[in-house]
């Protein structure tokens, strides 16, 4: 069953009107905000593609030749940046980037063993905006929007509406973290946490800096790939100047996702101690080829990014056509181990609801 909820339009409105989980003492002065020149990345976000007609126009393919189904957008809209589209080969109907964003009829099949909450998020959601599943780290739903709607997204049915904490909610989250001295690491996730302004991000970080037992922050984001201009020198310096050790885990699935603008953006972190890692989802017809994964990890390394996780697809309803079974995944891993230095081989993992960590498959 699909919820009848226009997820993204809802989220983006929310992102715009209620700048996420601003702490109690912080107000955004809309007038000041409007006087500031709009950053490139915000324009890119605003100019995102959200209709199949626009997509076909940009790709220069007639609408009827795009293998898309409008009905699949009802619950989970099309959304993608122009930057990402520019890396699609429009002569290839099975382009691996296109397949990640194209709403297709298969999404409407109700496959057995695929769920709305495939990884048990709801059971680990003690406060709106906070997921606490694993020892030592908590995950914050820092925003309800993304700059792309990946069709296989494991949170494609997640109720962001119930998980935007607001100002009071942010105080509650801070109190929760302060009261549990086992929490050393705070992960900003979402949605995409980099969809919020640097200023808001900085305030969140400063509040966390005040909790002595928090020593690390981590940002899970796909924005460096989708809108590379989001990596501003200011963002880099915010992370360089906090007392917290920082890491950014980007999400990149295919070497074609990395062009010069992406690699230049990532290289802005080169002189800092922010660790750059990548997680990918193993996706049928997109990256389930050893050579693709080998090229991906080599290319990422040349941008200063080390592999972290290669995820088996979470069993989220609507995404069953992307699934690669574990036997095939293990065979691919064997090829990667043969061809790559050990440090360029990602960890193959699966997320099991209720497990105390991501389950390694080897």
Ligand X SMILES: *Cc1c(COP(=O)(O)O)cnc(C)c1O
Buried b / exposed e along 305-325 (16+ C-beta atoms within 10 A): bebbbbbbbbbbbbbbbbbbe
For 158, 173, 206, the CA distances from 202, given in Å and listed in that order, are 26, 16, 6
Residues 218-237 that bind ligand SF4 (CB under 6 A): 222
From ligand X, ligand SF4, none, interface partner of 137 (C-beta below 5 to 8 A by class): ligand X
Phi, psi (degrees; rounded to nearest 5) at 259: -115, -175
Residue 251's binding partner, choosing from ligand X, ligand SF4, none, with beta-carbon cut-off 5 to 8 A by kind?
ligand SF4
Least gap, CB of 55 to ligand X (angstroms): 31
Distance between CA atoms of 91 and 49, rounded to whole angstroms? 19
192 makes contact, choosing from ligand X, ligand SF4, none, with CB < 5 to 8 Å by partner type, with: ligand SF4
Binding string, residues 320-359; x marks residues near ligand X by CB under 6 A: -------------------------------------xx-
Q: Within a 10 A sphere around the Cβ of 25, how many other Cβ atoms?
A: 9
**153 binds ligand SF4 per the rule CB under 6 A:** yes
Q: Does 147 bind ligand X (CB under 6 A)?
A: no
Stretch that binds ligand SF4, among 27-35, 145-153, 309-317, 347-355 (CB under 6 A): 145-153
Q: How many residues bind ligand X (CB under 6 A)?
A: 9
DSSP assignment letter at 106: G
Shortest CB 149 distance to ligand SF4, Å:
5
Site membership for ligand SF4, residue 254 (CB under 6 A): no
Write the binding mask 37 to 76 for ligand SF4: x where contact by CB under 6 A, - elsewhere. ----------------------------------------
- Minimum distance from residue 124 beta carbon to ligand X (Å): 6
Q: What HEC string does 117-184 produce?
A: CCCCCHHHCCECCEEEEECCEEEEECCCCCCCCCCCCCCCCCCHHHCCCHHHHHHHHHHHHHHCCCCC
Residue 220 DSSP one-character state: E
Angle, in degrees to the nearest 10, between helices 198-209 and 233-241: 0
Q: Which does 276 bind (CB under 5 to 8 A by kind): ligand X, ligand SF4, none?
A: none
Burial degree of 102 (CB within 10 A; 0-12, 13-18, 19+) = buried
For residues 74 and 121, the answer to whether their CB atoms sit within 8 Å is no
Q: Which residue of 97, 140, 146, 310 would you call a contact of ligand SF4, by CB under 6 A? A: 146
Pick one of ligand X, ligand SF4, none as the site partner of residue 187 (Cβ within 5 to 8 A by kind).
ligand X
Other CB atoms within a 10 A radius of the CB of residue 181 amount to 11
- Residue 349, H or E segment: strand 347-350
Q: End-to-end CA distance of the chain: give it in Å, rounded.
A: 34
Beta carbon of residue 146, minimum distance to ligand SF4 (angstroms, whole number): 3
Contact 191, 221 (CB under 8 A): no
112-141: contacts with ligand X (CB under 6 A)? 124, 131, 133-134, 137, 139
80 binding ligand SF4? (CB under 6 A): no
Closest CB to ligand SF4 among 155 and 230?
155
User: Binders of ligand X among 170-189, rule CB under 6 A?
Assistant: 187
The correct pick among 88, 98, 141, 150 for binding ligand SF4 (CB under 6 A) is 150
Q: Verify binding: residue 148, ligand SF4, rule CB under 6 A.
A: yes
- Binders of ligand SF4 among residues 186 to 205 (CB under 6 A) are 192
Buried b (16+ CB within 10 A) or exposed e, 62-91: eeeebebbeebbebbbbbbbebbbebbeee
What is the distance between the alpha carbons of residues 263 and 286, in angstroms, rounded to a whole number?
21
- Binding residues vs ligand X (CB under 6 A): 124, 131, 133-134, 137, 139, 187, 357-358
- Binding residues vs ligand SF4 (CB under 6 A): 146, 148-150, 153, 155, 192, 222, 251
């Amino acid at each position: 069953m699909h919820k009848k909820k226009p997820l993204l339009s809802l989220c983006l409105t929310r992102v715009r009107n209620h700048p996420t989980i601003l702490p109690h003492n912080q107000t955004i002065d809309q007038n000041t905000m409007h006087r500031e020149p709009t950053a490139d990345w915000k324009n890119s976000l605003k100019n995102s593609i959200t209709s199949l007609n626009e997509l076909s126009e940009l790709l220069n393919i007639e609408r009827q030749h795009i293998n898309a189904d409008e009905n699949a957008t009802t619950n989970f809209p099309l959304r993608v940046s122009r930057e990402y589209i520019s890396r699609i080969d429009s002569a290839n109907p099975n382009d691996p980037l296109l397949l990640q964003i194209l709403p297709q009829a298969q999404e409407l099949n109700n496959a057995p063993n695929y769920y709305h909450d495939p990884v048990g998020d709801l059971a680990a959601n003690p406060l709106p905006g906070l997921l606490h599943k694993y020892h030592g780290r908590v995950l914050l739903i820092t925003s309800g929007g993304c700059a792309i709607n990946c069709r296989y997204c494991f949170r494609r049915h997640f109720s962001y509406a119930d998980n935007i904490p607001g100002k009071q909610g942010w105080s509650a989250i801070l109190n929760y973290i302060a009261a549990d001295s086992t929490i050393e690491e705070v992960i900003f996730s979402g949605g995409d946490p980099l969809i919020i302004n640097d200023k808001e991000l900085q305030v969140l970080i400063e509040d966390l800096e005040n909790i002595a037992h928090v020593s690390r922050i981590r940002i899970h984001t796909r924005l460096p790939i989708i809108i590379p201009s989001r990596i501003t020198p200011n963002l880099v310096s915010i992370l360089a100047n906090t007392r917290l050790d920082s890491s950014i885990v980007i999400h990149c699935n295919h070497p074609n996702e990395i062009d010069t603008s992406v690699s230049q953006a990532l290289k802005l972190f080169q002189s800092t101690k922010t660790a750059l890692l990548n997680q990918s989802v193993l996706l049928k017809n997109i990256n389930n080829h050893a050579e693709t994964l080998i090229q991906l990890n080599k290319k990422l390394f040349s941008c200063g990014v080390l592999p972290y996780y290669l995820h088996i697809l979470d069993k989220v309803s609507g995404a069953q056509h992307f699934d690669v079974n574990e036997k095939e995944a293990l065979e691919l891993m064997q090829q990667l181990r043969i061809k790559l230095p050990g440090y360029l081989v990602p960890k193959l993992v699966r997320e099991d609801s209720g497990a105390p960590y991501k389950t390694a498959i080897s």
